[in-house]
Amino acid sequence: MPIYEFRCAKCDHRFQKLCQMGENGSNLVCPSCQSPGPTRVMSGFTLNNPGSLRGSRGDSCSGCTSSNCSACKH
């Protein structure tokens, strides 16, 4: 079951919910204001593999000058 992110149109609260595949939010309520029918929004994601930030030539990412991506703060 995927975790989807929703946003309440009334109070603008964003929350995540473990849902059935394809859930659109029509049967949910906002946990903050109890308003019905929050809208599903696109969620961002992060990579948990510091080595994936390296360029094709093995250089560091453009966010820092370190040659060790695990030390990068970006």
pLDDT at 56: 44
Print the domain residue range for 52: 46-74
Q: What is the DSSP letter of 40?
A: E
Q: What is the pLDDT of residues 48-69, one digit of tens each?
A: 665 555 544 445 555 566 566 6
How many domains are there within the chain? 2
Cβ(21)–Cβ(2) under 8 Å? yes
Is residue 14 a contact partner of residue 6, using CB atoms and an 8 Å limit?
A: yes
How far apart are the C-alpha atoms of 50 and 56, rounded to whole Å?
14
Kindly state whether residues 25 and 54 are assigned to the same domain: no
74 pLDDT more than 80: no
Residue 6: pLDDT above 90? yes
Same domain for 53 and 67? yes
Same structural domain, 62 and 39: no
Same domain for 1 and 36, yes or no, is yes
| One domain for residues 27 and 59 | no
What tens digit of pLDDT does each residue of 15-45 get? 999 888 888 888 999 999 999 999 999 877 6
